[in-house]
Amino acid sequence: MANIELIPCENRDTLRGLIDVRSAADALASYYGLVHECERVKLYGYYSNNHSLSGFMAVAQTGMDLFRSLALPFVGTRQGLHELVLGALQPGRHYLVYLPIEQQEYLIGTAELTSHMVSNLLRLDARGFEPVLNVLIERRHTPDGLPRYEIKSSNGSAAAGINWRTEHAAEIYAEGDVPGYRRGFTKAVLGGLISQLVHDRLTVFLRIPDDDYRSFEDAFDLGFKPTGVRHLFADLFLAKDSPTPEGNSG
């Protein structure tokens, strides 16, 4: 009988048998399963019928939303995802969720997904990277101590920072106003941050929505290549009358 169990954070290394920490497809799971601060994440293991750990769900507090936790399932089967959603999430609450695009249909009849956005994960090919020099770039740090590169001027603004970082990789982001994009500020701050991460010998990932053509152009100019990994980012709601999976102890 399948079972969902809460995994104590001090035992999170048991997840390493499921994750390839150098794989683009496993990058999010690697961070939230193995690195995200223990006081801000709960980990639920999915134990299949042979009582072996076959997947997990990370339910994390993040800076993305103060009211909705992020649910990150990492499991390969429809049944496993169904069990994790029902066993790890609370009915009547909304969550943010990252889900492999091919698993979207797995949740039909289990949970409601709205506010969809499809993102593409790109990986830097350091051989094709050339930094963009701009004297306006300022290097700062976030309250968490992560680097952030900024340009603020009367002619536009842009910033680049880190979504998450492990010992092997980092996922970065960029933001800016329209004048900042037009003047190349966004590409410049990305280039400054990438230079630091390449120096630190990290694999660099960048996540871009399907319809953000301008960001794709900047990314390709900097040396990013598609990984083929696409995620659905959505609001997930589990109705209060959703059944609890049999055997759940979490």
Average pLDDT, integer, range 114-120: 95
Q: Are residues 79 and 179 in the same domain?
A: no
Q: Note down the domain range covering 200.
A: 126-222
The pLDDT value given to residue 132: 83
Name beta bridge partners: 164: 171
- Are residues 21 and 117 both part of a single domain? yes
CA atoms of 250 and 245, how far apart (whole Å): 10
pLDDT digits (tens, 9 = 90+) for 149-174: 999 999 999 999 999 999 999 999 99
My answer on whether 53 and 158 are in the same domain is no
169-176/147-153 β-pairing: unpaired
pLDDT digits 0-9 by tens, 57-102 = 999 999 888 899 999 999 999 999 999 999 999 999 999 999 999 9
For the chain, the domain total comes to 2
Residues 145 and 111 in one domain: no
Q: Evaluate whether residue 180 is within a structural domain.
A: yes
Is 38 a member of any domain? Answer: yes
Average pLDDT of the residues in 113-136 = 93
Amino acid 237 reads F
What is d(CA 89, CA 160) in angstroms, rounded to the nearest whole number? 32
| CATH code of the domain containing 152 | 3.40.630
Q: Is the pLDDT at 246 greater than 90, yes or no?
A: no
Helices (H), the chain: 27-34, 78-88, 178-182, 185-199, 213-222
Percentage of residues in the chain with pLDDT exceeding 70? Answer: 95
pLDDT at 91: 95
Note whether residue 248 is domain-resident. Answer: no
Question: Across the chain, what does the average pLDDT equal?
Answer: 93
> What per-residue confidence (pLDDT) applies to 75?
97
Assigned domain for 14 exists: yes
Query: Same structural domain for residues 214 and 138?
Result: yes
Q: Which range has the worst mean pLDDT, 130-144, 145-159, 234-248? A: 234-248
The beta-strand segments (E) located in the chain are: 3-7, 41-47, 53-60, 70-74, 94-100, 112-124, 138-141, 147-153, 156-165, 169-176, 203-209, 224-237
Q: Is residue 247 part of a domain?
A: no
| Amino acid sitting at position 228 | G
